[in-house]
Amino acid sequence: MTKRIFLKLILTLIGLFIVAALGVDYFVTRMAETNLRRGLEDGLKEQARLAVAVLRGRPAESSPEVVGEIAEAAGARLTLIRSDGAVVADSEADPATMENHATRPEFAAALAGGVGVSTRLSSTVGAEFLYVAISSKDGALRLALPLSEIRAQTREIRGRIIGVTLLAFIPAVFLAFWLAQRLSARLSQIMSFSRDLARGDFQTPVPAFSGGELGELSLTLQTTADRLRSMFEQLQEERSRFAAAVNGIGAGVLVMDRERRAIVCNPAMRRMFPNENLTVGDRPFTASHRDIARLFDKVFIQGTSDSVDLSVSEPVKRTWKVSCATIGGAAGEVQAAVAVFYDITELEETERVRRDFVTNVSHELRTPLASIQGYAETLLDGAVDDPEHNRRFLQIIRQNAERLAQLSSDLMTLSQIEVRARDYEFGPVAVNDLLTQASDSIRALTDKKRVSVRVERLRVSTEVECDSDSLYQVLMNLLENAANYTPQGGAITLGARREDDEVEFYVRDTGVGIASQHIPRLFERFYRVDKARSRELGGTGLGLAIVKHLVLAHEGSVRVESEVGRGSTFYVRIPLQRSRRAVAMDAVSGAGDK
């Protein structure tokens, strides 16, 4: 870059020098020639007047030697012309052979009473002459001098000028070379700095030039760079905030221009539509879901906001609420459109669970209440005095009341767990002690049903940080379910094993088992595999839901493996030590309660 700038500058300066030299040569030569000619004319005029004075009273044709002497003294050709234009005498030619000069411009001007001057090619001598004519007594006297002398003097002057110019041109070239090299280096630095600014590199120092226009340019560039850096940093900060906001929200965001090219697409959008080509770039976006394309087309055509609900069933069933709005340009036209995808699958699922919960609670309450109401009315109608039936009716009323009380208690427990209103007292508890306590508590039920219980304890004493009452309730719910669904003569195994920093409890039975289609919903509230048998056994349908929420409160997980006719195994895995985050949340919750 520096060499190219230097070459352009030096060639420009040399060209300017050459043009200046040619101009000086032209104008000085013309000026010198003009001055020489003017001086020559003035000299010839004076000599012509002197010649007229010398020849006054002497006939020229009688004294030709006088004409030659005067011409030699004047250093010019002398010609005497009568008033009719005939040549009387000439210092260099025979007058008889010369043509009439009446039409010569200098002769005509001299006869008019003035001094005639002209320049032309002499037909007699064949050279270009300067003619000066002055009137005399019988006609006119003319002196002529060849212009070759003037041109010789002009050439001499021109040669001197060229020599002087060349002598001045050599140091001027060196000076131009130095200036061009210095200026090109500075311009190269400025251009390099400008390119760095264009690339967004603000770390390059501004070239410092002291004084002059380049110094002012350096200060201007420094100010411009500082402003650009400030604006760029501000834009970067705003862009980072925007990107963080867009990428951090759970809703999917998709911005497309009028050519249907994706401009912005956040990670949530890509997670929602893993099969779509959501690459941001120059390629048009082709949505496999027709409703998305139709929504953008409608917004671009109408220029107004719109919304639509989208649903897909592959690979899993999902539902979105999509709101699409326009982005206007400076002229008011629609430049782009932004669509926000809200995943409402969980909301719809929550609404479904809520409806099922209301329905199930209503159903669970209606059955015992109807039974209580029916038997109470029977007793009031006179059965209370019937010793054969009144006690049985009262026993049924009592059983249904106990079922209502159990249902109310389970609902209260579940509600406290879900809203985190239950108080947990976490502390180290021996795993084997929990297994012994739970197995001892279930033996009354298992002995009554003639189901054996086996406990597989840990070989090494291990403690787990937990709320002992909650974990005991988890194991008891699982054991009661196992006992209720294990036929007479079956077996239940309660045990635990340690895996790294976790302990896994398991309850295995040889009962009826659970079909695979029921397992995903097994821990939902009021969900029953066999509703008739569950009610017959007095179950509320909330036991496994309570188990799931209590395990989650311990940062654990619960799963089940089952095969119809061969029994089921429930696994509960919880960490040996609670995480710092859980401890901090408990501290905050405790402070809030106070």
Q: Which tops the pLDDT comparison, 575 or 356?
A: 575
The per-residue pLDDT for 83 is 83
pLDDT reading at 474 higher than 80: yes
Is 564 in contact with 553 (CB distance < 8 Å)?
A: no
The per-residue pLDDT for 119 is 82
How would DSSP label each residue in 9-42?
A: HHHHHHHHHHHHHHHHHHHHHHHHHHHHHHHHHH
Is 494 in contact with 453 (CB distance < 8 Å)?
A: yes
Most confident of 98-102, 476-480, 587-591: 476-480
In whole angstroms, what is the distance from residue 577 CA to residue 463 CA?
A: 9
pLDDT, average across residues 547-561: 88
Is 587 in contact with 424 (CB distance < 8 Å)?
A: no
Q: Are strands 491-499 and 452-456 parallel, antiparallel or unpaired?
A: parallel
Express each pLDDT in 413-465 by its tens digit. 666 666 565 677 888 999 999 999 999 988 888 888 899 999 999 988 899 99
Angle 403-405-407 from CA coordinates, rounded to 5°:
70
Looking at 188-202, 344-358, 398-412, 521-535, which range is the least confident one? 521-535
The residues that bridge with 312 in the sheet, in sequence order, are 318
Going by the DSSP 8-state scheme, the letter that residue 284 receives in this structure is B
The per-residue pLDDT for 389 is 73
In whole angstroms, what is the distance from residue 386 CA to residue 373 CA?
A: 18
Tabulate helix, strand, coil % of the chain (nearest 5): 55, 20, 25
pLDDT reading at 90 higher than 90: no
Q: Which tops the pLDDT comparison, 563 or 16?
A: 563
In whole angstroms, what is the distance from residue 322 CA to residue 295 CA?
A: 9
Express each pLDDT in 571-583 by its tens digit. 999 998 877 656 6
Residue listed under structure tokens 């579940």? 414
Express each pLDDT in 390-425 by its tens digit. 777 787 788 778 777 766 766 666 666 665 656 778
Going by the DSSP 8-state scheme, the letter that residue 249 receives in this structure is S
Is 220 in contact with 212 (CB distance < 8 Å)?
A: no
In whole angstroms, what is the distance from residue 311 CA to residue 309 CA?
A: 7
Express each pLDDT in 294-349 by its tens digit. 888 888 888 888 888 877 776 677 788 888 888 876 666 778 888 888 888 878 77
Residue listed under structure tokens 């649903």? 311
Res. 504 pLDDT band, cuts 50 70 90: very high
Q: What one-letter code names the amino acid at 3?
A: K
pLDDT reading at 532 higher than 50: no
Tokens at 94, concatenated: 């025979």
pLDDT, average across residues 374-384: 78
Res. 110 pLDDT band, cuts 50 70 90: confident
Is 157 in contact with 28 (CB distance < 8 Å)?
A: yes
How would DSSP label each residue in 172-235?
A: HHHHHHHHHHHHHHHHHHHHHHHHHHHTT---SPPPP--SHHHHHHHHHHHHHHHHHHHHHHHH
Express each pLDDT in 256-279 by its tens digit. 888 778 788 888 887 777 766 666
pLDDT, average across residues 552-569: 89
The per-residue pLDDT for 223 is 78
In whole angstroms, what is the distance from residue 189 CA to residue 206 CA?
A: 9
Estimate to the nearest angstrom the gap between the alpha carbon of 230 and the chain centroid. Answer: 17
**Could you tell me the pTM of the whole model?**
0.42
The per-residue pLDDT for 594 is 43
Q: Which tops the pLDDT comparison, 162 or 504?
A: 504
Across the chain, what does the average pLDDT equal? 77
Q: Which tops the pLDDT comparison, 185 or 469?
A: 469
Q: Which tops the pLDDT comparison, 347 or 280?
A: 347
Cα atoms in the 13 Å half-sphere on the side-chain side of 193? 21
How would DSSP label each residue in 73-84?
A: HHTSEEEEEETT
Express each pLDDT in 37-82 by its tens digit. 787 778 888 888 888 877 776 655 545 677 887 887 777 888 888 8
Express each pLDDT in 115-160 by its tens digit. 888 887 776 666 778 888 888 877 888 888 887 777 777 777 777 7
Q: What one-letter code names the amino acid at 430?
A: A
User: Where is 307: in which H helix or E strand?
Assistant: strand 306-312
Sign of CA dihedral 14, 15, 18, 20: negative
In whole angstroms, what is the distance from residue 495 CA to residue 134 CA?
A: 150
pLDDT reading at 538 higher than 60: no
Residue listed under structure tokens 């696994």? 571
